[in-house]
């Protein structure tokens, strides 16, 4: 059986498949003349998964077809691609700044096909723990081994469902609760129920020594306003119809739990002694000169990028 046979990489029902979609976009960005990020390993995953909608995204064929059919829809697609590129850059910068500040353990919750452990210029003695579903990590590591990619930090895989007791698995894998950590939560939260999201952050908080840092992509509550989700779904359907290469395009929001309002992640962290800031996806796009064209409706993905640092005991006493 081929390594990829147990996945339907374009399925709307398989959350593992979403990891390939993000990798395909990073591979597409890497092909650009002036890329914001370079992830040369991302294309290995796309190739290993075979020809499908994601290989069409990486090659640029899907965008080109859509642009000929409907330039407005193409601009909308471009905004989604730019969001992934700017988001990747954001998390890259966050984690390298944490390493520069002396943090030596990085925990990527729902690492998917993220290749930061392989591609970033890490200082010495960094350990990157990657947590995700077993089948995702299995596909990822088999593909990277086949591509003869070597990690640039100590890489520790922790195959686990993040709704289960992942702290135990992380501790067994060597995580040190007495040392600060950098936590990355990118492209995960909307897949979790509200209760699972709260539990995830409770656990991050419990495992964090002072000076730990977290970066998380949270769902912007604006998206839950009446009509937004329906407009998003209608636009995706128009894309599928307009471009044959996008006929199998899945809708990630079908896997999101949109049933209840979520805690505001920045507020939640602040109440527990973390301090930081929030950027909207639109602000992040503007920072990198990638804003969607003015007047393009619902162009910006519904994301908030939250970063925070846990106070030291001293901060807490003085604050
Ligand atoms: N963070 C990666 C990135 O940005 O490239 C992957 C993002 S991908 C959109 C979502 C990831 O969340 C998938 O790899 C999926 O397997 C993982 N995921 C979702 N729910 C999960 C759960 N309950 N336990 C473990 N992983 C989960």
pLDDT tens-digit series, residues 119-172:
999 999 999 999 999 999 999 999 999 999 999 999 999 999 999 999 999 999
Among 252, 87, 104, 113, residue whose Cα is nearest residue 174: 104
Establish whether residue 243 lines the binding site of ligand 1, counting it when its CB lies within 6 angstroms of any ligand atom: no
Domain-embedded: residue 17: yes
6: in domain: no
Asked if residue 5 belongs to a domain, the reply is: no
Residue 212 counted as domain residue: yes
Contact 105, 129 (CB under 8 A): yes
Number of independent structural domains in the chain: 1
Element housing 71 (H / E): helix 71-100
pLDDT tens digit sequence for 42-68: 999 999 999 999 999 999 999 999 999
In CATH, what number is assigned to the domain containing residue 130? 3.40.50.150
Return the ligand 1 atom nearest residue 162 CA: 24
Q: pLDDT above 70 covers what percent of the chain? A: 94
SS3 of residue 68 by DSSP: helix
Whether 237 is in a domain gets the answer yes
Could you tell me if residue 44 is inside a domain? yes
Distance between CA atoms of residues 142 and 48, nearest Å: 10
Separation of alpha carbons 107 and 90, rounded Å:
16
Is 24 within the bounds of a domain?
Answer: yes
Tens-digit pLDDT profile for residues 246-292: 999 999 999 999 998 898 999 999 999 999 999 999 999 999 999 99
What atom of ligand 1 comes closest to residue 113's alpha carbon? 5
Nearest residue to 204 via CA among 120, 112, 110: 110
Residues β-bridged to residue 106: 128, 182
DSSP secondary structure letter of residue 312: P
User: Whose alpha carbon is nearest atom 8 of ligand 1?
Assistant: 19
- Residue range(s) defining the domain that contains residue 63: 12-318
**Full-model pTM:** 0.95
The pLDDT assigned to 174 comes to 98
220-229 long-range contacts, Cβ below 8 Å, gap at least 24? Answer: 220/280, 220/281, 220/302, 220/303, 220/304, 221/261, 221/262, 221/264, 222/302, 223/258, 223/302, 224/258, 224/261, 228/298, 228/302, 229/253, 229/258
Determine if ligand 1 sits within 6 Å of the CB of residue 188.
yes
- Say what the pLDDT of residue 59 is: 98
Indicate whether residue 301 lines ligand 1 (CB < 6 A): no
Which atom number of ligand 1 is nearest to the Cα of residue 114? 5
72 alpha carbon – ligand 1 mean position (Å): 30
103 found inside a domain: yes
Q: How far is the CA of 128 from the centre of ligand 1 (A)?
A: 16
Can you give 279-294 as a three-state secondary structure string? EEHHHHHHHCCCCCCC
191 lines ligand 1 (CB under 6 A): yes
Name the residue of 188, 197, 305 whose CB sits within 8 Å of the most ligand 1 atoms, as the mutation to test its pocket.
188
Please name the residue whose Cα sits nearest to atom 7 of ligand 1. 187
């Amino acid at each position: 059986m081929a390594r990829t046979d147990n996945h339907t990489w374009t399925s709307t029902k398989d959350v593992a498949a979403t990891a390939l979609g993000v990798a395909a976009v990073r591979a597409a960005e890497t092909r650009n003349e002036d890329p914001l990020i370079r992830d040369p390993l991302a294309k290995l995953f796309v190739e290993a998964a075979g020809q499908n909608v994601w290989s069409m995204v990486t090659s640029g064929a899907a965008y080109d077809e859509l642009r000929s059919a409907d330039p407005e829809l193409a601009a909308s697609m471009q905004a989604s691609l730019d969001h992934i590129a700017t988001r990747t850059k954001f998390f890259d910068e966050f984690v390298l700044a944490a390493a520069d500040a002396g943090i030596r353990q990085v925990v990527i919750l729902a690492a998917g096909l993220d290749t930061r452990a392989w591609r970033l210029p890490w200082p010495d003695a960094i350990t990157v723990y990657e947590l995700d579903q077993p089948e995702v990590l299995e596909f990822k590591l088999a593909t990277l081994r086949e591509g003869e990619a070597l990690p640039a930090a100590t890489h520790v895989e922790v195959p686990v469902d993040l709704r289960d007791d992942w702290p135990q698995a992380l501790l067994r894998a060597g995580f040190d609760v007495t040392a600060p950590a950098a936590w990355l939560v990118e492209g995960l939260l909307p897949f979790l129920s509200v209760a699972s999201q709260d539990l995830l952050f409770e656990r991050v908080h419990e495992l964090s020594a002072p000076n730990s840092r977290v970066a998380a992509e949270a769902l912007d509550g604006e998206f839950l306003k009446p009509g937004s989700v329906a407009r998003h779904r209608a636009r995706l359907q128009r894309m599928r119809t307009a471009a044959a290469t996008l006929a199998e395009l899945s809708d990630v929001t079908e896997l999101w739990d949109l049933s209840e309002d979520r805690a505001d992640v920045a507020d939640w962290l602040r109440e527990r002694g973390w301090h930081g800031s929030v950027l909207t996806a639109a602000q992040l796009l503007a920072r990198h000169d990638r804003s969607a064209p003015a007047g393009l409706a619902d162009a910006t993905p519904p994301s908030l990028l939250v970063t925070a640092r846990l106070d030291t005991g001293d901060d807490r006493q003085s604050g």
